[in-house]
Chain A
C-alpha cells in the first residue's frame, strides 16, 4: 500500500469516530438538506432541467476544442488576454509574471477551487505579494492555516464556537462573538484590502463561448469587490467550465444554486466580458483569463471517466455521500473531495497515490441521484477500481484474499463441501483485517441456501 493510502486509512479511522466532527457535519448538512428541499420545490420540472443541463454538457464535451477556440477568439475581441496553461507550473508562471510586471503588493482572491488546485497563495506570497482570501469561509480556513474542507462550504467542519475562538486568538475579538459579529468584523477588515489591492483573482463557474464571457457565481459580493477596485482582474478557470452560450445561464444558474446551497438563484451572478471599456467609469485596466488543463485533457481520453468533465462543482455529491459525511473533507487530502474528487483526482495526480479513493465508497448511488448533470459517479468509481487492480496497485493482502475467494466461490460443489464452521474460521482474519474490527460481517449459516433449497424441493416433491 502506498503511503498516501496508508495515511488515508489512518485518518479515516481516527475521524470516523470523532463525535464532535460528526456532530458539526451532520448539523451543517442537515441545514443544507432543508434548504435544498425548498430549492427543489421552486422548480416546475427539475428532472427536465437536469436532463437539459446534462445534454448541454455532453454536447460541450463532443465539441470541446471548437468551443474553447471560439471562446478565445471572442474573449480576445473583447479585450481580454487569454493564456493556456497545460499544468500547475505553467499557470503559476503566468501569475508570477503578472505580479512581477505590475509590481503588485496585494492580491485579493474570491473563492475558487482552481486556485486551490494550483496553490496560488503560496506561489504569490513567495515573491512578496500578499494574497488574501475574501470569501468568509476561505478567510476562516486561511486564518486557521488550513485548506478548504468542502468545495462549496470551506469551513463546514468548524462550529461557530470554534471560529469565535480562532478569531479571539488571532484578532482579539470577543470570545462569544455571534456569526453576525464575526462576519461584520471580516467585512471591515477586507473592505480596506479590496479598495487598495493591485490584483483581483476569481475563478469561473462558466466560460461562455458565444460571447467570450466569464460567469462568476457568489453570495457575498467579494468577487464583485475584487473586480471593481483592483486594476487587474485575473480569472483562473479549468477548461471544462465552458458552455456554448450565454443563453444557457438561464438554465445553469438556478441549477447550480439549487444544488449548491438550496437557493433559487445565488445572490450575485455576474458576467465579465473584459476590462473597463472606453465609455465606462471604472473597472480593471486589464483582464487575463488563464485556461487550465492540468490533467483534464488526459481525463478526457478515458473511455469511462471523461463524463466527470461535465461537473459544475455544485458540491451536492459531497453532501449526499455517507462516506464524505463520515470521514470528512480533509481525509481525502485532495483539492476536490467526495465522490467527484475520488473519480477525477487519480487522473490529475496519478492512480498510484490516489487510486485508493475510488475504493472509499459504498456505491450506494446517492451521488448519482443528486448530480444535476447526471454524471454516473458509482459507475466511474467502479471503473477506477478496475484500473487500480489492472495496474496492480492494490495491497497484496487484498489481491491474495480476492484470488482465494474467487477460487473458492466459483466452484459450487467444492464450496458446499467446506463446513460452515471452517468457512467462518477461514474468513475471520480477513474480516478483521480488511473489513475492520468495528464492523460485523454476517457469518455463514449452518446450512447454505442451496442446500436448504434442494432439501425443501425434495420435501415438496414427496408431498
Chain B
C-alpha cells in the first residue's frame, strides 16, 4: 500500500491553498485565568462527589486493613471464581487477606467482578485514569460487568490537565499504548435520551481509595 503520492498531494494542496494568510486570532486568549471551578472543599471530597454524580461508587478507607474488610464485605455475595484479578500486587493483597478470586483464563468470560489498579484519580471530573501498562492490560478495564479500582490517596490530582502532565512525566520514554479516563460506569442515552447504565462496559464502577 504505497501512499507517498497521496501524502504529497494532500500536503501540497494545504501549502498552496490560494488563500490570504489566515488571520491568526489578533490577541492570544488569556491563558492564565481559570476556566473550571475550584476544587472544594478538598480533592478527595470533590472526587467522591463528582464520581457519585455520574453513578460511580467511591469508598474511602483509612488503612489497608480497613480496605480488606470493606472488600470482603462487598464481595461476600460473589463466589471466588466470579472475581477476577490479573494484577500481581493486588492478588498478593487479596491472598494475604483471604479474599478468594480467580486468575484462570477459563473464568474470564464469566467473571462478575474485575479488580484493577489505576494510574491517577482526577478530582474535578471524578475520573479514574487507567492504562494498558501493568498486569491488567486493556481488557480488564472494560470487560468486567463490575469494575473495582483500588487507588492510593496520593494518586489523586486536581484537574484533567494535571493528570495528562503527570502521565507524560511518568512515561517520558513512551506512553502505554492505551490510556483512558473513565468517569463512571458505561452508559448510553441513545434511546430517547434515557440514561441507561451498563451499555458495553461495566455496569457498576467502585473506586476504593486507601491511605
A residues adjacent to B (C-beta < 8 A): 27-28, 31-32, 35, 42-46, 48-49, 51-52, 54-55, 58-59, 61-62, 64-65, 68-69, 72, 78, 83-86, 90, 93-94, 97, 134-137, 140, 153-155, 158-160, 163, 179-180, 182-184, 187, 190-191, 194-195, 211, 213, 219-222, 224-225, 227-229, 239, 246-247, 249-251, 253-254, 261, 263-277, 279-283, 287, 291, 293, 297-298, 300-303, 306
The main secondary structure of chain B at its interface with chain A is loop
Known contacts A182-B191, A187-B198, A281-B135; 10 further A-B pairs (Cβ under 8 A): A45-B35, A49-B35, A64-B14, A78-B177, A94-B1, A253-B181, A254-B36, A281-B137, A301-B19, A306-B19
Closest to A78 in B: B174
Closest to A28 in B: B193
**B35, A43: Cβ atoms closer than 8 Å:** yes
Q: Which residues of B contact A49 (CB under 8 A)?
A: 35
Knowing A187-B199, A254-B160 are in contact, say whether A69-B11 is a contact too (CB < 8 A).
yes
**A134, B200: Cβ atoms closer than 8 Å:** yes
Knowing A55-B29, A58-B22, A301-B18 are in contact, say whether A44-B141 is a contact too (CB < 8 A).
no
Knowing A55-B25, A140-B190 are in contact, say whether A265-B175 is a contact too (CB < 8 A).
no
**A265, B137: Cβ atoms closer than 8 Å:** no
Q: Which residues of B contact A187 (CB under 8 A)?
A: 198-200
**B193, A300: Cβ atoms closer than 8 Å:** no
Q: Which residues of B contact A293 (CB under 8 A)?
A: 6, 10, 13
State the Cβ distance, B101 to closest chain A Cβ, in Å.
17
Give the interface segment out of B64-72, B77-85, B125-133. B125-133
**A58, B25: Cβ atoms closer than 8 Å:** yes
Q: How far is the CA of A279 from the CA of B28 in the complex (A)?
A: 42
State the Cβ distance, A422 to closest chain B Cβ, in Å.
47
Q: Which residues of B contact A46 (CB under 8 A)?
A: 35
Q: Which residues of A contact B210 (CB under 8 A)?
A: none
Q: Which residues of B contact A85 (CB under 8 A)?
A: 3, 6
Choice from B54, B132, B182 contacting A283 with Cβ under 8 Å: B132
Interface check B98, CB cutoff 8 A? no
**A62, B200: Cβ atoms closer than 8 Å:** no
**Cβ contacts B19-58/A at 8 Å (1 or 0 each):** 1111011001111011111100000000000100010000
**Cβ contacts B170-211/A at 8 Å (1 or 0 each):** 000011111111111111111111101011111000000000
State the Cβ distance, A117 to closest chain B Cβ, in Å.
16
Knowing A44-B37, A219-B186, A246-B168 are in contact, say whether A280-B13 is a contact too (CB < 8 A).
no
Q: Which residues of B contact A264 (CB under 8 A)?
A: 50, 54, 125, 183
State the Cβ distance, B125 to closest chain A Cβ, in Å.
4
**A65, B15: Cβ atoms closer than 8 Å:** yes
State the Cβ distance, B150 to closest chain A Cβ, in Å.
18
State the Cβ distance, A239 to closest chain B Cβ, in Å.
7
Interface check B139, CB cutoff 8 A? yes
Interface size class of B (residues with CB under 8 A): 35 or more
**A179, B196: Cβ atoms closer than 8 Å:** yes
Knowing A250-B161, A265-B127, A282-B138 are in contact, say whether A65-B200 is a contact too (CB < 8 A).
no
State the Cβ distance, A79 to closest chain B Cβ, in Å.
8
**B160, A249: Cβ atoms closer than 8 Å:** yes
Interface check B106, CB cutoff 8 A? no
Knowing A136-B190, A247-B164, A272-B178 are in contact, say whether A224-B138 is a contact too (CB < 8 A).
yes
Q: Which residues of B contact A279 (CB under 8 A)?
A: 133
Q: How far is the CA of A211 from the CA of B2 in the complex (A)?
A: 24
B residues adjacent to A (C-beta < 8 A): 1, 3, 6-7, 9-11, 13-22, 24-25, 28-31, 33-38, 50, 54, 86, 109, 125, 127, 132-133, 135-139, 141-143, 159-161, 164-165, 168, 174-194, 196, 198-202
State the Cβ distance, B115 to closest chain A Cβ, in Å.
15
Choice from A42, A51, A61, A302 contacting B37 with Cβ under 8 Å: A42
State the Cβ distance, B41 to closest chain A Cβ, in Å.
17
Q: How far is the CA of A303 from the CA of B17 in the complex (A)?
A: 9
**B192, A160: Cβ atoms closer than 8 Å:** yes
**B187, A220: Cβ atoms closer than 8 Å:** yes
Q: How far is the CA of A249 from the CA of B165 in the complex (A)?
A: 11
Of the candidates A86, A254, A281, the one having the most CB atoms from chain B within 10 angstroms of its own CB is A281
**B181, A159: Cβ atoms closer than 8 Å:** no
Closest to A111 in B: B190
Q: How far is the CA of A51 from the CA of B30 in the complex (A)?
A: 9
Closest to A250 in B: B161
Closest to B180 in A: A270
**B175, A273: Cβ atoms closer than 8 Å:** yes
**B193, A221: Cβ atoms closer than 8 Å:** no
**B17, A155: Cβ atoms closer than 8 Å:** no
24 contacts between A and B (CB under 8 A): A55-B28, A59-B24, A61-B22, A68-B11, A90-B3, A136-B190, A137-B190, A160-B192, A183-B191, A183-B198, A219-B199, A221-B199, A221-B202, A224-B180, A224-B200, A264-B183, A268-B182, A268-B186, A270-B179, A271-B179, A276-B132, A280-B138, A291-B10, A301-B17
List 9 A-B pairs, minimum CB-CB distance, nearest first.
Answer: A221-B201, A250-B161, A220-B199, A137-B190, A281-B137, A297-B13, A31-B193, A301-B17, A228-B138
Q: How far is the CA of A256 from the CA of B132 in the complex (A)?
A: 25
State the Cβ distance, B88 to closest chain A Cβ, in Å.
11
Q: How far is the CA of A219 from the CA of B193 in the complex (A)?
A: 13
Of the candidates B1, B139, B168, B190, the one having the most CB atoms from chain A within 10 angstroms of its own CB is B190
Choice from B36, B54, B200 contacting A221 with Cβ under 8 Å: B200
**B186, A220: Cβ atoms closer than 8 Å:** yes
State the Cβ distance, A224 to closest chain B Cβ, in Å.
4
State the Cβ distance, B188 to closest chain A Cβ, in Å.
5
State the Cβ distance, A420 to closest chain B Cβ, in Å.
46
